[in-house]
Amino acid sequence: MPRPVLLTVDDDPQVLRAVERDLRAHYRQDYRVLRAASGPEALETLQELATRGVPVALILSDHRMPEMDGVAFLTASLALHPSARRVLLTAYADTDAAIGAINQAGVDRYLLKPWDPPEERLYPVLDELLAEWHSHYRPAFEGVRVLGSRWSPRAYELREFLARNHVPYLWLDVEGSDPDVARLQATPEAGQGLPLVELPDGTRLSAPTPAELTEHVGLHTRAEQDFYDLLIVGGGPAGLAAAVYGASEGLRTLLVEREAPGGQAGLSSRIENYLGFSTGISGSRLAQEAVTQAKRFGVEIVTQAVTALRAAGSYRVLDLADGSSVSGHAVILATGVQWRALDVPGLAALQGAGVYYGAGTTEALACKDETVYIVGGANSAGQAAMNFSRYAREVVLLVRGGSLAASMSQYLIEQIEQTPNIRVELNTSVVGVQGQERLEAIEVHCSATGQTQTLDANSLFLFIGAVPGTEWLAGTLERDPQGFVLSGPDLMRGGKRPRGWPLDRDPGLLETSLPGVFAVGDVRRGSVKRVASGVGEGSVAISFVHQYLARV
């Protein structure tokens, strides 16, 4: 495969040579560096590269150019190499235009001239962008292959499992023309049932479950030890933050995650209001970086479902789905929430076959040139709408309320208003679905007009609120009627400690009704449903764990 290209564009010959020099000095081992003296010339180069199938990793363009300014050029380049990272090089006086380009033209970052020294002001920015590009880039493939139907719920489940666990895989639709499709369809394992998973060593698995696939792709399902200082249940932002801070402060830490690190935030196509990331960061990338950071500090991560929590004297025990158990001094619950099911007849049968809960990260490319329907009016729905708008012909946001302002951040509302292929339908609910093997149509009702209409639909994505999924804690911890875990002051009724509380002190701020067990993030009653607050609670909880351990 040819080396990925870094393309720099500037009409000033001296600046162009300087940028090319700095790029070659740092990146020539892994990338081919090309240059162009104008926007039109650069577009010709990009067209030729696209025709030859040469990947473009990054485009660095000056803003003030006579024939075509940098924003116009970078916007036009989207059609030729949509996955390339785009950087606008600008003077201080043009920063407003640069910020506008980030919001409207798909620009990933802007840099001010001069950028000396490049070791401090150029390379760190480009390194981050190139790392993000590589996380999505698929060169000649040597990893897991999945053969199946787009409309198979099991195939969708496997693709989501692999994607969320950052396991590189190649999706092969049985109706596609890829040579591997015919090859795999001719194998005996394919005759036993689809989807078929082929591993890098040639092993083929017929219709495996995610649990059956786990160890085959290098994920751990069993803890290496029987006892830890700290057990964390849930690998979303709150759980990962607790793991990083706990392990970095010397606690032997085990994190148990049922599906994949990142939680619901890990499914977000773009988080734009998280401090420190001026152009936003994908939930997948945030989760991947957090996992790497946790492992660097020695956190052990196990992919398992926890079935029960119990006390054994001063120890806390987690029972796991495979029948094993693990013990520790303290536990942090960071299990987050699950999407609320939409109560529509026949919808459950189509889940994974056109009906999806959450962002459906693996489905975006499959929805190219289609109409996508998204149900919900909060940030998660808005972020998904923006992501799908890059691929779909039209994205229709179905909102039950009369306004987006009540539940969606203003920056997202403005982006949606500025995106021509996103349409918002207010006062609208899905009341019916049609289809046997896959979704074929939806029935929507408008409360403002009283009318119900049937719309052809292949893809319906649901973001309609969340539930904590804490049934497994019933009888162990006190919860509110919705299932959210009570902690700290919420446990005190009339100034009295919770029933059965064994200690001569009040529960700590994040402590549950079982001493030494703490709740953080979305699973906790009264939490703020934001990534930043989850990370904050996860990190703060470690100080309470230390206080608890000092007393036992």
Does residue 221 lie within any of the structural domains?
Answer: no
Q: What domain range is 36 assigned to?
A: 5-136
* CB 305 within 8 Å of CB 299: no
Give the three-state DSSP class for 388.
helix
Which of 446, 466, 486 is where one domain is finished?
466
C-alpha 450/C-alpha 431 separation (Å) is 12
Which segments of 389-472 does DSSP mark as H helices, in order?
410-417
Strands 169-173 and 144-148: parallel
pTM of the model: 0.76
Query: Quick one: tokens of 185?
Result: 């369809």
Is residue 361 domain-shared with residue 451, that is, in the same domain?
yes
What is the pLDDT, as a whole number, of residue 179? 85
Enumerate residue ranges in the chain where pLDDT < 70: 1, 92-95, 97-98, 100-105, 138-141, 360-362
The residue type at 356: Y
Is residue 457 domain-shared with residue 507, that is, in the same domain?
no
Backbone angles phi, psi at 528, to 5 degrees: -90, 125
Does residue 17 lie within any of the structural domains?
Answer: yes
Is residue 10 domain-shared with residue 130, that is, in the same domain?
yes
Cα–Cα separations (whole angstroms), residue 334 to 192, 257, 518, 548: 39, 10, 9, 18
Give the three-state DSSP class for 63.
coil
Is residue 331 domain-shared with residue 474, that is, in the same domain?
yes
Is residue 361 domain-shared with residue 426, that is, in the same domain?
yes
C-alpha 360/C-alpha 284 separation (Å) is 12
C-alpha 498/C-alpha 512 separation (Å) is 9
Does residue 544 lie within any of the structural domains?
Answer: yes
Q: What is the CATH number of the domain that holds 287?
A: 3.50.50.60
Q: Which helix (H) or strand (E) holds 440?
A: none
Does residue 95 lie within any of the structural domains?
Answer: yes
Is residue 15 domain-shared with residue 91, that is, in the same domain?
yes
Q: What is the CATH number of the domain that holds 130?
A: 3.40.50.2300
Query: Quick one: tokens of 350?
Result: 């189509």
> Please, which residues bridge with residue 339 across strands?
466
C-alpha 332/C-alpha 238 separation (Å) is 10
Is residue 165 domain-shared with residue 268, that is, in the same domain?
no
Q: Per the structure, how many domains does the chain have?
A: 4
Transcribe 177-207 into DSSP letters: --HHHHHHHTSHHHHT-SSEEE-TTS-EEES
Is residue 130 domain-shared with residue 12, that is, in the same domain?
yes
* CB 85 within 8 Å of CB 130: yes
Backbone angles phi, psi at 257, to 5 degrees: -125, 130
Is residue 459 domain-shared with residue 477, that is, in the same domain?
no
Is residue 442 domain-shared with residue 459, that is, in the same domain?
yes
Which of 118, 136, 154 is where one domain is finished?
136
Q: Which helix (H) or strand (E) holds 7?
A: strand 5-9
Is residue 513 domain-shared with residue 372, that is, in the same domain?
no
Give the three-state DSSP class for 123.
helix
Summarised one tens digit per residue, pLDDT across range 415-453 is 999 999 999 999 999 999 999 999 999 999 999 999 999
* CB 199 within 8 Å of CB 215: no
* CB 365 within 8 Å of CB 451: no
C-alpha 407/C-alpha 379 separation (Å) is 7
C-alpha 398/C-alpha 395 separation (Å) is 10
| Of residues 535, 540, 537, 88, the one with CA closest to residue 275 | 535
* CB 333 within 8 Å of CB 255: no
Taken in order 376, 381, 386, 392, the sign of the CA dihedral is: negative
* CB 339 within 8 Å of CB 358: yes
C-alpha 240/C-alpha 232 separation (Å) is 9
Strands 5-9 and 32-36: parallel
Query: Quick one: tokens of 321?
Result: 């789905």
Does residue 330 lie within any of the structural domains?
Answer: yes
C-alpha 511/C-alpha 540 separation (Å) is 12
387-421: burial string, b at 16+ Cβ within 10 Å, e else: bbbbbbeebbbbbeeeebeeebbeebeebbeeeeb
Transcribe 94-116 into DSSP letters: GHHHHHHHHHHS---EEEESP--
Q: What is the CATH number of the domain that holds 202?
A: 3.40.30.10
Backbone angles phi, psi at 517, to 5 degrees: -115, 125
> Where do we find the tokens 């785009």?
86
| Of residues 47, 30, 35, 236, the one with CA closest to residue 134 | 30
Does residue 220 lie within any of the structural domains?
Answer: no
C-alpha 106/C-alpha 88 separation (Å) is 11
Cis peptide upstream of residue 515 (ω within 30 degrees of 0): no
Give the three-state DSSP class for 51.
helix
For residue 237, count CB atoms less than 10 angstroms from its CB and return exposed for 0-12, middle for 13-18, buried for 19 or more.
Answer: buried
Query: Quick one: tokens of 102?
Result: 């980030």
C-alpha 254/C-alpha 331 separation (Å) is 10
> Where do we find the tokens 């940028």?
19
Backbone angles phi, psi at 113, to 5 degrees: -85, 140
Torsion of Cα atoms, 186 then 187 then 193 then 199, to 10°: -130
Does residue 343 lie within any of the structural domains?
Answer: no
Query: Quick one: tokens of 205?
Result: 């698995």
Summarised one tens digit per residue, pLDDT across range 320-331 is 999 999 999 999
Does residue 218 lie within any of the structural domains?
Answer: no
Q: Which residues contact 58 (CB under 8 A, 6 or more apart)?
A: 6, 7, 84, 85, 86, 87, 126, 129, 130, 133
Which of 466, 488, 512 is where one domain is finished?
466
Is residue 26 domain-shared with residue 99, that is, in the same domain?
yes
C-alpha 246/C-alpha 376 separation (Å) is 36
Query: Quick one: tokens of 455?
Result: 């719309």
